[in-house]
Amino acid sequence: MTLHAPFPSGRPRRLRRDAFTRNLVREHTLSVHDLIYPVFVQEGEKRRDAVPSMPGVERLSLDLLLPVAEQCLSLGIPVMALFPVIEASRKTPAGDEAFNADGLIPRVVAGLKSRFPELGVMTDVALDPYTSHGQDGLLDETGYILNDPTVEVLVKQALVQAEVGVDIVAPSDMMDGRIGAIRGALESAGQIHTRIMAYSAKYASAFYGPFRDAVGSAANLGKSNKKVYQMDPGNSDEALREVGIDIAEGADMVMVKPGMPYLDIVRRVKDEFRVPTFAYQVSGEYAMLKAAAQNGWLDHDAVMMESLLAFKRAGADGVLTYFALDAARLLPKP
Ligand code: PBG
C-alpha cells in the first residue's frame, strides 16, 4: 500500500470559513484611535466652502469647526490637524503671516483648546499657505528655495503655535535641519511638552493637487514644483536616512507621505526605527477613491476601510485621513 502525503499539505481556507474564525485570527485592526482628521480652516463666521476636487471636504470658519471638533471627540478621534486658507492679501514672498501670533491658526487653536481642551490639536509648520509663490520656503533671486533662512521662519512659526497651545507641531516643509532647530527653540522657550510629528519622508508628489486647491496655493505655484526639497518618488533608502536624521534631531513621531503608493516606505521605516510612525492618505488619494465611488465603480465604505486597514498592516501606528469622520462612524466606539 502506498502512503500518500496528505493533499493538500495545508488548508489555509479552514481559518477563513466563518466570521468567528476570521475575527479570531485577524492580525491587524483599525481603531478610531488610529485616526487623525485634517481640516481646512478659514477666516470669518458661518463660512463653509466646498473643495470641488475633494468631495465632502469643506473649508470652515472657526464657529463651524467647533461642532466638527465635538464630533471628533465623541467618536474617539484623538487629533485634528489644521490647515489654513490664508487670504491672498496676506500672502507675501517671505510668508510672514506664518508667525503672526494673531493670525488665523493661532486664533483657531485658541478657540478649539478653550472649548475642547482634551482634543489633540496638530498644526502644520510650513510656509506654503502663506507665500505669494506657493513654495514652502524663501526664494533666492534664481527661485531656488533657501534652506537655513526658511528654517529661521519655521522656528518662529512653531513657537507661535506652541505658545497658543498646539499639542503637536508637524513640520511638512522638508528643509534640512528644521526638526533640530525647532526642538531646540521649543526647549529654550520652556515648551517641553510640544510633540513634533515630522513629515520625514515626504515625497514630491502629484497626489497633493487637491490640497493645493483647498488652501489656495495651486494657482500661485503654477507650473513650478517642489522637487528641490521634497523627496524623489524613485527613492527608498533615502527615506530611512531622512527619518534617522529627524529622530536624531528630536522628532517624537515620524510620517510618510503620501500614503497608499508608499506603503513599502511605511514598512521599511517601522522595521528600521520602531518609533511611532504615521502615514498621510493625502488629498489625491481621497479624491481618487471618492471619484470612483461617486461613479458607482467602487464601494465607498468598503474601499475606505480597506485602504485604512492597509496602513496598519504596513506598520503605521496611525493615519491622517480625510475619511476620519466617515471611518470612525463605522468603527466600534471605544
Ligand atoms: C504643506 C503641505 C502639503 C500637504 C500637507 N502639508 C502640500 C504640499 O506639500 O504641497 C499635502 C496634503 C494633502 O495632499 O492632503 N507643505
282 Cβ closer than 6 Å to some ligand 1 atom: yes
C-alpha distances in angstroms, 286 versus 1, 156, 164?
A: 61, 32, 31
Structural domain contains residue 2: no
Return the pLDDT at 220.
Answer: 86
Kindly give the residue spans of alpha helices, DSSP state H, lying in the chain.
19-25, 62-75, 104-115, 148-163, 178-188, 209-215, 218-221, 237-249, 263-273, 283-294, 300-314, 324-330
Q: Is the CB of 136 under 6 A from ligand 1?
A: yes
**Quick one: what percent of the chain has pLDDT higher than 70?**
99
End-to-end CA distance of the chain: 59
Cα separation, 162 vs 156, in Å, equals 10
Residue 202 among the catalytic residues: yes
- Indicate whether residue 157 lines ligand 1 (CB < 6 A): no
Output the residue whose Cα is nearest ligand 1's atom 2. 172
Distance 296 CA to ligand 1 centre (A): 28
Amino acid at the residue 169: V
CATH of the domain at 315: 3.20.20.70
Query: What pLDDT does residue 311 have?
Result: 98
pLDDT band at residue 1 under the 50/70/90 scheme: low
Q: Kindly report, residue by residue over 32-42, the tens digit of the pLDDT.
A: 999 999 999 99
Residue 18 inside a domain? The answer is no
pLDDT above 90 (res 222): no
Question: In the prediction, which pLDDT does 187 show?
Answer: 98
Please report whether residue 155 resides in a domain: yes
Q: Whose CA is closest to atom 11 on ligand 1?
A: 208
Nearest of 173, 175, 179 to residue 195 by alpha carbon: 179
**Is the model more confident about 137 or about 3?**
137
**pLDDT band at 218, cuts 50/70/90?**
confident
C-alpha cell recorded at residue 191: 515648551
Q: How far is CA 201 from CA 229, 232, 280, 312, in A?
A: 11, 10, 11, 17
What are the pLDDT digits (tens) for 183-194?
999 999 999 999
pLDDT of residue 3: 66
Model confidence over 302-330: pLDDT tens digits?
A: 999 999 999 999 999 999 999 999 999 99
Nearest residue (by CA) to ligand 1, atom 8, is 208
Question: Model confidence over 266-292: pLDDT tens digits?
Answer: 999 999 999 999 999 999 999 999 999
Whether 216 shows a pLDDT value over 90: the answer reads no
Residue 42 belongs to domain spanning: 29-330
Closest atom, ligand 1, to C-alpha of 284: 14
45 CB contacts (<8 Å, ≥6 apart)? Answer: 61, 63
Atom of ligand 1 nearest to the CA of 207: 14
Among the residue ranges 92-106, 145-159, 217-231, the one predicted with the least confidence is: 217-231
Q: In testing the pocket of ligand 1, which one of 208, 257, 281, 285 has its CB within 8 Å of the most ligand atoms?
A: 208
pTM as predicted = 0.96
Q: Pick the atom of ligand 1 nearest to 322's CA.
A: 15
Q: How far is the CA of 207 from the centre of ligand 1 (A)?
A: 9
Decide if 19 is inside a domain. no
Q: What mean pLDDT do residues 11-27 have?
A: 97
The pLDDT of residue 24 is 98
Residue at 229 is within a domain = yes
Selecting among 91, 226, 257, 290, the annotated active-site residue is 257
In ligand 1, the atom with minimum distance to the C-alpha of 38 is: 15
**Cα 327 to ligand 1 centre (Å):** 21
**pLDDT, tens only, 223-265:** 889 999 999 999 999 999 999 999 999 999 999 999 999 999 9
- Residue 214 counted as domain residue: yes
pLDDT at 306: 98
Residue 163 resides in a domain? yes
CB 128 near ligand 1, within 6 Å: yes
Q: Could you tell me the distance, in angstroms and rounded to a whole number, from the CA of residue 152 to the centre of ligand 1?
A: 20
Q: How many domains does the chain have?
A: 1
The pLDDT-based confidence of 2 (bands split at 50, 70, 90) is low
- Cβ of 99 below 6 Å from ligand 1: no
Instruction: Note the pLDDT of residue 223.
Output: 84
- Over residues 54-76, mean pLDDT: 98
Report how far ligand 1's centroid is from the alpha carbon of 279 (Å). 13
Active-site residue among 91, 202, 290, 312? 202
From 211, 220, 224, the mutation candidate for ligand 1 (largest count of ligand atoms within 8 A of CB) is 211
Gap from CA of 273 to ligand 1 centroid (Å): 24
Going by C-beta distance under 8 Å and a sequence separation of 6 or more, which residues neighbour residue 314? Answer: 263, 264, 266, 267, 270, 279
Evaluate whether residue 264 is within a structural domain: yes
